[in-house]
Amino acid sequence: MKYAVLGAAGQLGREFCKRLSGEVAPLTRDQIDLTRPETVRRVLGELRPEVLINCAAFNYVDRAETEAAPAFAVNAHGVRELAIACCDLDCTLVHFSTDYVFGFDPNRRTPYVESDPPGPVSVYGASKLAGEYLLRPYCPKHFVIRTCGLYGVQGSGGKGGNFVETMLRLAKAGKPLRVVADQFCTPTYVRDLANAVVELIATKRYGLYHLTNANACSWYEFARAIFAREHISVDLTPIPSAAYAAPARRPFYSVLSTGLYESLHLSPLRGWSEALAAYLHERQQKAAPGG
């Protein structure tokens, strides 16, 4: 199998490059710039992959509120160009979306399934949902994967780290931490996500899927678990979303049901707490001499 991985320098893209078997072409913005359609057609036409995995995105949630044009250029219009090119090449397109396509419902306590109506409350969420809609009619052989709160040992290159690394860095600096306690989701380890997607691709059961680690927590609970696992004492205070005052609104509850994926009898993803422990262990191994 011949793969191309766009966004190969990011934490999810790097994980795919390590885990795919076959010929893998890692692609960065230097090769394909989603704001320049001609680079999409030229590079994919030269490579002719059988599967393109798109891990590239404008994922600056708060910046998107004032930078809507670049967010939509990458997350929506650029994805449409990928879909058209993949269809022309008879190539399967794997694309990642987000739990932020769902809305602002403080009473929600049941995980979202794929058929639930979306209703994004941020520019970022709207741009990602637009990408889903612009992809589907142009490329029948597609997997659209909604996921949440990604973290991996490589970190998130564009954003300068992930939530786990940010928490550990701030704790090391001795700063008091205030973390929202009324937003619930399922943070997801990129190693687990990549393994699951590789299995899913092999089924050729195209369509929209939710894929995260299992169970749910608030961001405050996730932060508390990070420090407990690392035996770090820190001044950690739970706060409501209103006190955080971020430019972009976030869903109060955006837990995703993975039932559709599980109905294919593929390997289930472990719980977020177990995945976090595995991540912290991998992180320690990498930091060790010779790691």
Q: What residues are labeled active site?
A: 124
Q: b or e along 23-56 (b: 16 or more beta carbons within 10 Å of the residue's beta carbon)?
A: ebbbbbbebbbbeebebbbebbeebebbbbbbbb
Which residue from 182, 155, 184 is spatially nearest to 167, judged by alpha carbons?
155
Helical segments of 94-188, H only: 123-135, 163-172
Q: Scanning the structure block, which residue is given the tokens 């670049």?
A: 70
Contact 82, 31 (CB under 8 A): no
Task: Determine the distance from the C-alpha atom of residue 158 to the mean position of all C-alpha atoms in its chain, rounded to a whole number.
Answer: 13
How many CA atoms, within 13 angstroms, populate the side-chain half-sphere of residue 92?
A: 19
Instruction: Tell me how many degrees the CA angle 196-200-206 measures, rounded to the nearest 5.
Output: 145
Q: Scanning the structure block, which residue is given the tokens 């600096």?
A: 173
Q: Is 90 strand, coil or helix?
A: coil
What's the count of helices (H) and strands (E) in the chain, helices before strands? 11, 12
- Six-digit token string for 172: 């090391």
Helical segments of 20-159, H only: 37-47, 68-72, 78-88, 123-135
